[in-house]
A and B are shown apart, each in its own frame.
Chain A
C-alpha cells in the first residue's frame, strides 16, 4: 500500500536567468567588500561593528536563500519557516548580547 502522493501539490519549476544569477553574485561580492572594508580599513563603529557585520551577513544569507536557493519562487510556507528560524536566531543573539551589556 502506498499513499505517499495523496497530498502532494503541483510544484512549478523555475529556471533563473543568467542575468539574475550574475546580479545576485555581484550583490554578494559587494556585500563581502563592504564587510572587509568595515573591519580592515578602520570604520570605527565600536559596539555597532558586531551588529553591522551580523546585519550584512544576514542580508547575504537572505539573498542566497531567495535567489540561489529559489525561496522567492517557492510556496509562502517555506518563507514563513525561514522567517521563524531567523527570528529564533535573532532572539538567541539578543538574549546573549543582553547578558553581555548588563554585566557589572
Chain B
C-alpha cells in the first residue's frame, strides 16, 4: 500500500517534487516557502547581531574593523527589518491561516500571492548581493539617512533597490489580504465575527498598501540623487536632508505597526484558547487595531525631534505619539482581563504570548519616554533607543512569531514537538533576551551613543553582560529550532484540535486538506471566541 493511500491526502502530500512547491498556488505551501526563506534570512541576521555583540565585548577592536562594523549593523538592520520582521507573521501565518480562519479555500489572488514570494526572494538576493558586489554593503544604517547615503562609496543603490522590490512584495500581500477579507468570508461571518488575527491582518494590510509606496519613491529619489546628481536631499546641491527624514518616516513609522499589529493578532488568538474563555472586549481589540493603524500614520515626526524639525511641529508629533499608546493599552488590558477567571492551561504558546506582553510593555513604555520631547533630547541616538526598539520588535513581534510557530505547529504539520524541550528553549530565550537588551536601556541613560564601534571604560561591564545575554539567546534559539525540526521529523501525530480551540482552523484536519475543508465549516454560535465550557462570571 502506498504512503498516500495509508494517510489522508493533505496539502503536504497531495503533490510531490520541487516544482510542485516552486509553482504552487496553494496559500499554505506559499506560507511555508515564506517560512523557510524568512527563517534562513533571520539566522543570517542573528549571526550579524552576534558578531556585533562580540565586537562590543571589550572596548576597541576585538574581531572586526570599524568600517566593517558599520556595514554589519546596516546589513543586520536591513535583513531583520525588511526580510524578517515586516513579512514574518503576515506572510507566513497570515498566508497560511487567514483563508482557513475565514472559512475559504485560498486567498483572492493566488498567482499574485506566489508572485509576492518571488519578489521577496529577488529583493533578498539584491540585499545579500551587496556582500560580494560593488564596494560592499551599505554603511548607512537601515534608515539610509541622506546626505551620507548619497555620498558614501558603499553599495547603497543596490541596498535601496532591494528595499524597493521588497516593498512591492509587501504591497501585493496586503492587497491580497484586503480583497480576501472583503470578498471571501464564509457565509454568516460578518466583520464582527471574524477572528481577531484577521482584524489585525486587515489593519496591517491597509498600512502596507497605503504607506509602502512612499518609501518606494523615497528610495528611488536616493538613487536619482546618487546617479544623476538631482538635488533632493543633499544641501550642497540644494536639497534638504530633513525632507528625506520626513519621507522615510512617513512610511517607516507606520511600518512599525506592520510589524507589531499581526503580533497582537497572534496574542489575541493564543490567550482565549489557553484561557478557554471568550476574549474580553472583542470589539475594542478589533477596533483598536484599526485605531493604531490610523493614528500610527501621523506620529512619524517623533523620530526627528533632534534633527532640526521645528519646535511647534515637534509638540504636535509628541502629542499624537502619546495618543497611539491608548489603543495599545486597551489591547493589553483586554488580554489580561481575558486571563482573569479563565481555565488557564500554561502551554508553550501561552508562555510566548505572556512574554510578548511583558516585553512589549517595556518596549511601549520606553517608547513613551522617547515620545516626551524633553527626555528624547537626552536619550535620542543612545543605546536607550536600541534597547527600546529591540524590546518592541524582537521581544514583541519576535516572541509572538515564536508563539505562533508553537501554537499552529500541530495544525501546519500534524505533529507535536517535545513540550519539555520547548519550555526549556522558551526559558533560555526569555532570560537571554532580557539579559541582552535590558543593559542597553541602562547604557543609553548613562549616555552611550548607539552605532559606535568603540566605547568608554565605564560602559564595559554592561556591554559584557549584554554580550553574555546574546550567547544565552542563541542557545535558546538553536534549541527551539532543533526541537521544532525534531517535532517535524519524529513528532507524535496529533488530531485536528490539540489545543481545544474554536476558531475555524481547528475544525479541519491537521495538516489541512488541499482546499482547507472537506465540509463547510460551522461558525461558533455567539462569536469566534464563545467557548462552550467557559466558566460563568
Interface residues of A (CB under 8 A from B): 1-4, 6-8, 85, 88, 91-92, 95-96, 98-104
* B187 and A95 within 8 A (CB): no
* B104 and A91 within 8 A (CB): no
* Sample of 13 more A-B contacts, CB < 8 Å, known A7-B183, A88-B210: A1-B520, A3-B184, A6-B186, A7-B185, A88-B297, A95-B298, A99-B246, A99-B310, A100-B310, A102-B313, A103-B308, A103-B309, A104-B311
Interchain Cβ contacts under 8 Å between A and B, 24 examples = A1-B517, A2-B105, A2-B515, A3-B103, A3-B104, A3-B187, A4-B105, A4-B184, A8-B183, A88-B210, A92-B214, A95-B301, A95-B316, A98-B313, A99-B301, A99-B310, A99-B313, A100-B310, A101-B310, A102-B310, A102-B313, A103-B310, A104-B310, A104-B311
Shortest beta-carbon distance from A75 to chain B in Å: 12
In this assembly, does B7 line the interface, its C-beta being within 8 Å of a C-beta of chain A?
Answer: no
Shortest beta-carbon distance from A78 to chain B in Å: 12
Shortest beta-carbon distance from B249 to chain A in Å: 11
* B187 and A6 within 8 A (CB): yes
Which partner residue on chain B sits nearest A92 by CB separation?
Answer: B250
CB-defined contacts of B466 to chain A, threshold 8 Å: none
How long is the Cα–Cα vector from A88 to B515 in the complex, in angstroms? Answer: 38
A1: contacting residue among B210, B313, B316, B516, CB under 8 A? B516
How long is the Cα–Cα vector from A96 to B104 in the complex, in angstroms? Answer: 43
In this assembly, does B312 line the interface, its C-beta being within 8 Å of a C-beta of chain A?
Answer: yes
* B246 and A1 within 8 A (CB): no
Which partner residue on chain A sits nearest B242 by CB separation?
Answer: A99
CB-defined interface of B65-103 with A at 8 Å, one 1/0 digit per residue? 000000000000000000000000000000000000001
Shortest beta-carbon distance from B101 to chain A in Å: 14
How long is the Cα–Cα vector from A45 to B382 in the complex, in angstroms? Answer: 44
Shortest beta-carbon distance from A84 to chain B in Å: 9
* A1 and B310 within 8 A (CB): no
How long is the Cα–Cα vector from A98 to B187 in the complex, in angstroms? Answer: 47
Central interface residue in B242, B298, B313, by most chain A CB within 10 Å: B313
B residues 100-154 in Cβ contact with A at 8 Å: 103-105, 108
Shortest beta-carbon distance from B520 to chain A in Å: 7
* A4 and B104 within 8 A (CB): yes
CB-defined interface of B207-248 with A at 8 Å, one 1/0 digit per residue? 000100010000000000000000000000000001100100
How long is the Cα–Cα vector from A101 to B515 in the complex, in angstroms? Answer: 57
How long is the Cα–Cα vector from A104 to B534 in the complex, in angstroms? Answer: 61
CB-defined contacts of B103 to chain A, threshold 8 Å: 3
Assuming the contacts A6-B187, A102-B311, asked whether A96 and B105 have C-beta atoms less than 8 A apart, the reply is no
User: How many interface contacts (CB-CB < 8 Å) are there between A and B?
Assistant: 60
CB-defined interface of B299-320 with A at 8 Å, one 1/0 digit per residue? 0010000001111110010000
CB-defined contacts of B297 to chain A, threshold 8 Å: 88, 91-92
How long is the Cα–Cα vector from A99 to B246 in the complex, in angstroms? Answer: 10
CB-defined contacts of A4 to chain B, threshold 8 Å: 104-105, 108, 183-184
Which partner residue on chain A sits nearest B104 by CB separation?
Answer: A3
Ranked 4 nearest A-B pairs via Cβ: A99-B313, A102-B310, A102-B312, A103-B310
* A99 and B309 within 8 A (CB): yes
* A1 and B298 within 8 A (CB): no
CB-defined contacts of B210 to chain A, threshold 8 Å: 85, 88
* A95 and B310 within 8 A (CB): no
Which partner residue on chain B sits nearest A103 by CB separation?
Answer: B310
Assuming the contacts A4-B104, A88-B297, A104-B310, asked whether A96 and B246 have C-beta atoms less than 8 A apart, the reply is yes
CB-defined interface of B14-26 with A at 8 Å, one 1/0 digit per residue? 0000000000000
CB-defined contacts of B185 to chain A, threshold 8 Å: 7
CB-defined contacts of A7 to chain B, threshold 8 Å: 183, 185
CB-defined contacts of B312 to chain A, threshold 8 Å: 98, 102
How long is the Cα–Cα vector from A22 to B502 in the complex, in angstroms? Answer: 57
How long is the Cα–Cα vector from A37 to B186 in the complex, in angstroms? Answer: 55
Shortest beta-carbon distance from A73 to chain B in Å: 20
CB-defined contacts of B308 to chain A, threshold 8 Å: 103
B313: contacting residue among A85, A88, A91, A95, CB under 8 A? A95
Shortest beta-carbon distance from B202 to chain A in Å: 14
Shortest beta-carbon distance from A2 to chain B in Å: 6
Which partner residue on chain B sits nearest A9 by CB separation?
Answer: B183
Shortest beta-carbon distance from B90 to chain A in Å: 21
Shortest beta-carbon distance from B35 to chain A in Å: 25
Shortest beta-carbon distance from B77 to chain A in Å: 24
Which partner residue on chain B sits nearest A7 by CB separation?
Answer: B183
How long is the Cα–Cα vector from A3 to B517 in the complex, in angstroms? Answer: 12
Which partner residue on chain B sits nearest A6 by CB separation?
Answer: B187
How long is the Cα–Cα vector from A88 to B183 in the complex, in angstroms? Answer: 25
Shortest beta-carbon distance from B532 to chain A in Å: 25
CB-defined contacts of A85 to chain B, threshold 8 Å: 210
* A98 and B104 within 8 A (CB): no
How long is the Cα–Cα vector from A1 to B512 in the complex, in angstroms? Answer: 13
Shortest beta-carbon distance from A10 to chain B in Å: 14
How long is the Cα–Cα vector from A66 to B210 in the complex, in angstroms? Answer: 20
Central interface residue in A3, A91, A103, A104, by most chain B CB within 10 Å: A3
Shortest beta-carbon distance from A85 to chain B in Å: 6
How long is the Cα–Cα vector from A3 to B186 in the complex, in angstroms? Answer: 7
Which partner residue on chain B sits nearest A104 by CB separation?
Answer: B310
* B316 and A98 within 8 A (CB): yes
Assuming the contacts A98-B316, A99-B313, A104-B310, asked whether A1 and B301 have C-beta atoms less than 8 A apart, the reply is no
Shortest beta-carbon distance from A103 to chain B in Å: 4
Shortest beta-carbon distance from B233 to chain A in Å: 14
CB-defined contacts of B214 to chain A, threshold 8 Å: 92
Which partner residue on chain A sits nearest B518 by CB separation?
Answer: A1
Shortest beta-carbon distance from B473 to chain A in Å: 38
How long is the Cα–Cα vector from A104 to B184 in the complex, in angstroms? Answer: 53
How long is the Cα–Cα vector from A92 to B108 in the complex, in angstroms? Answer: 31
CB-defined contacts of A3 to chain B, threshold 8 Å: 103-105, 184, 186-187
